[in-house]
Structure 1
């Protein structure tokens, strides 16, 4: 196509999603691993004031939205779809692709190019595009593309660009995520991960329909949010295991900036305002993510939905599942202006503005076992909570020794109260820290302590039965040792300290 030609109206022609047959509820862990499900402190969910999305700190906004879920062991997860004993990831992928082609009334011979993302498939988590194309009977060029949770939008952008050249007419995109293949059942991360696949056909649509604009940015700053390692599973087979990484706090720290940058700039490129968007689709890797996005963009909660309780985190499949559900519920209809946003850790964040076409849908997924509301709600209150506390090593050492432990504990309690949006007297320093913090906030607190007090705190000191009292003493000991190490004549001038190491 000539660079001076009018772009063709290209977008999603058909869409299908496919999930395994097993719907695993929280009862699975409560019955099989009762020791994993901790007895959480009985705190009522705090309603918080509706704050303008453009006026608040990104992490403050995140922490306000996560706070209501910290009293729930499962952090808002109700159920997730996982591969059954005799199910394969390949079968789930093929089912989605076959239904997308059937909905578009296309034969496999009419597919000109195929793009696939296979996260954590059965073959050691590696890409299985060759097996997938062979199973489907595709004879066209096919290759893999991976941009973590943004894979679907990046593949859509690539497919549209290929069709604009005139070389291809119909592109098939297949996106999948099999989280249950990559986590140990005894890791609480398993509570939040689900399996599934989605597929869509990209082709020319009616005038003024299809993709209008994209905005993609790098999320390299979140590298290390998850760690992956090779291990032998209980059946003696090798597998890639995923765990929360030491840079997990970066997901919370960057979430607001990424969603604002991508969505606002995509809207500008499309020549529309966010107020003109009929419906927003966010990937929702946590129960509170949709709330974070609506507040960050200062949009009405009714203009999106939250499927996390139904599926857990299904990675790059989420935008397709959300689009499918929104279309079935008639939240989006032909010619609706839709903005889709995704955030892929260690890869890309992306926003796509599209005008929805006459999109054919595959078979509806099995309904959830648990009744829950997918609407996003923001509640209001006038309660005043503590501001973000500050402390430094100099301030600690400036007070008399007998008061140092208290000043550190007050600092930690104030930080927790600020993040949890509760009052300081609600924080019991003898409760395990895991009752107050999820993994993301744990890493953020660790980072905050290390920056403010110029010490290193081992991550294991935040888990298990460690509480605020233990952590306070550890911090004080390390501050004193750090000061002694920096002193050139500590034996002559330093005051006598009792170290409880």
Structure 2
């Protein structure tokens, strides 16, 4: 427990100057948008949510309501204008945080900067930002993807605690719109922002109470960053989803439970004691995943995804800023912040909120209402197939049953006739990564088999998937018959003795 009254003194956020709505893709990349709006996918799990529920059940049911939207819950995102960069966003947020705290640049003892992605290739923005701000103190770069803000907060707390520094300015940014191809649907979810906060000594009993940080090495490969050249021949980082992207869903519940329950125990509290939860929101449904995994009231949190989309490491700061601005948290509120960074760390921090000064209010959204996010349950559909029925059928019957089952799921999910589904078409083109993950989850729950996520990537098609499932069933039959033979042999031996 860290009850030494060190925490956030001021908070500010800054966004790209362009508010880009879905109309941008409808006008410029209509081929990315399904011609028919798909209906909600029916997930075959009917249980109520509990803290011990199956991980994929929670994720699948949280995702399902958004499958009726071709943009998957994306509404608006802020992206940098032609004269903006990660450095300009960081500068605005840092100046705002300093002004809110009434601290001059010369009074800052240390600055920690996390730029995803920095303005230049190579090292991060720290030294350039320090120069632009006119700081006289050390400044260094730190990076832990979407958990950068909480990791930097823990570092700042520890350094002030030891007496090495009096205060620390933390600045994080996320400008992923510059690294994705607008012709890739991944671009729908990418926003640009920066956030900054001053870490300092607060009133007695306020500030950070405990932190819990764990590795997310299991998600390595979820995203791929490649060096390419742009139209002018200049080097540029290009981001795309990787073949390990399903681990983001598969690990989501375990990480949020490990970090949040762990940090509560370290602070000597329970989750019921927390007044407000700030979760990172890399997707429209992530808040629902977290609240259901922890069994907490959705009224105790906030979901800014429709307004800002995925703003990476700035999500935690933006959620805290808006929660304080909208009076969802106030002085002495117990606040738990959770973030999960792919290929990095997951982190949770509990703090007793101080008299935090806020920077200027961001530009209002163009089209959003203030209706709070609700948690939706998916519609229920009983599967027409089971592992037992398949094992009792002949090989030819198994093939026909699997083909019918898979085609019916695809037809219903994609809202197209079965006759229009090309079984030789790669599944990744037919489904995309999100629908592919749900397809995998449905098969595993209905048939009680493990389907490698690789079967939904590359050139793998529906016929390949059927062959793999038939092999799995054949192996199951062989193992079952071997087990029976061994049992009979043991019984005969016992009778002989």
Shorter-chain TM range is 0.7 to 0.9
1:456-486 deviation line (CA, Å, top 9, x unaligned) = 7361347xxxxxxxx43233456789999xx
Contact 2:38/2:70 (<8 A) preserved: no
2:273 to 250, 253, 276: 276
Contact 1:248/1:443 (<8 A) preserved: no
Do the aligned partners of residues 479 and 99 (structure 1) sit closer, same or farther apart at CA in structure 2, a change above 3 Å counting? closer
Aligned-pair distance for 1:142? 1.2
Identify the residue that residue 386 of structure 1 maps to in structure 2: 382
Q: How far apart, CA to CA, are the structure 2 residues paired with 1:197 and 1:320?
A: 9
Q: How far apart, CA to CA, are the structure 1 residues paired with 2:454 and 2:401?
A: 19
> Given the alignment of the two structures, is residue 327 of structure 1 paired with residue 324 of structure 2, yes or no?
yes
2:87 to 87, 90, 97: 90
Aligned-pair distance for 1:157? 0.5
TM-score, reference length from structure 1: 0.84
Aligned-pair distance for 1:232? 1.1
2:55 to 58, 62, 65: 58
Contact 1:230/1:238 (<8 A) preserved: yes
Identify the residue that residue 463 of structure 2 maps to in structure 1: 473
Do the aligned partners of residues 322 and 424 (structure 1) sit closer, same or farther apart at CA in structure 2, a change above 3 Å counting? closer
> Given the alignment of the two structures, is residue 216 of structure 1 paired with residue 206 of structure 2, yes or no?
no
DSSP 3-state at the match of 2:210: strand
Q: How far apart, CA to CA, are the structure 1 residues paired with 2:413 and 2:463?
A: 19
2:341 to 316, 339, 344: 344
List alignment gaps of at least 5 residues for structure 1: 418-422, 463-470, 485-501
Q: How far apart, CA to CA, are the structure 2 residues paired with 1:184 and 1:454?
A: 28
> Given the alignment of the two structures, is residue 43 of structure 1 paired with residue 43 of structure 2, yes or no?
no
> Given the alignment of the two structures, is residue 304 of structure 1 paired with residue 301 of structure 2, yes or no?
yes
Aligned-pair distance for 1:454? 8.3
Q: How far apart, CA to CA, are the structure 1 residues paired with 2:73 and 2:329?
A: 26
Number of residue pairs aligned between Structure 1 and Structure 2:
464
Aligned-pair distance for 1:453? 6.7
Name which of structure 1's ranges 202-211 and 135-144 shifts more when overlaid on structure 2. 135-144
Identify the residue that residue 5 of structure 2 maps to in structure 1: 9
Identify the residue that residue 436 of structure 2 maps to in structure 1: 442
DSSP 3-state at the match of 1:460: coil
> Given the alignment of the two structures, is residue 249 of structure 1 paired with residue 246 of structure 2, yes or no?
yes
1:354 to 351, 356, 366: 351
Do the aligned partners of residues 154 and 34 (structure 1) sit closer, same or farther apart at CA in structure 2, a change above 3 Å counting? same
Q: How far apart, CA to CA, are the structure 1 residues paired with 2:404 and 2:30?
A: 34
- Please list, as runs of the form range in 1=range in 2, the aligned pairs for 1:76-475 lying within 5 A after superposition: 76-124=73-121, 126-373=123-370, 375-379=372-376, 384-386=380-382, 399-412=393-406, 429=418, 430-431=420-421, 437-442=431-436, 445=439, 452=450, 457=455, 459-461=457-459, 471-475=461-465
Do the aligned partners of residues 457 and 272 (structure 1) sit closer, same or farther apart at CA in structure 2, a change above 3 Å counting? closer
Identify the residue that residue 466 of structure 1 maps to in structure 2: none
Identify the residue that residue 467 of structure 1 maps to in structure 2: none
RMSD, matched Cα: 3.3
Contact 1:122/1:181 (<8 A) preserved: no
DSSP 3-state at the match of 2:159: helix
List alignment gaps of at least 5 residues for structure 2: 475-497
Aligned-pair distance for 1:35? 1.5
Contact 1:118/1:126 (<8 A) preserved: no
Q: How far apart, CA to CA, are the structure 2 residues paired with 1:144 and 1:76?
A: 33
Contact 1:446/1:459 (<8 A) preserved: no
Aligned-pair distance for 1:34? 1.4
Q: How far apart, CA to CA, are the structure 2 residues paired with 1:131 and 1:388?
A: 61
> Given the alignment of the two structures, is residue 23 of structure 1 paired with residue 40 of structure 2, yes or no?
no
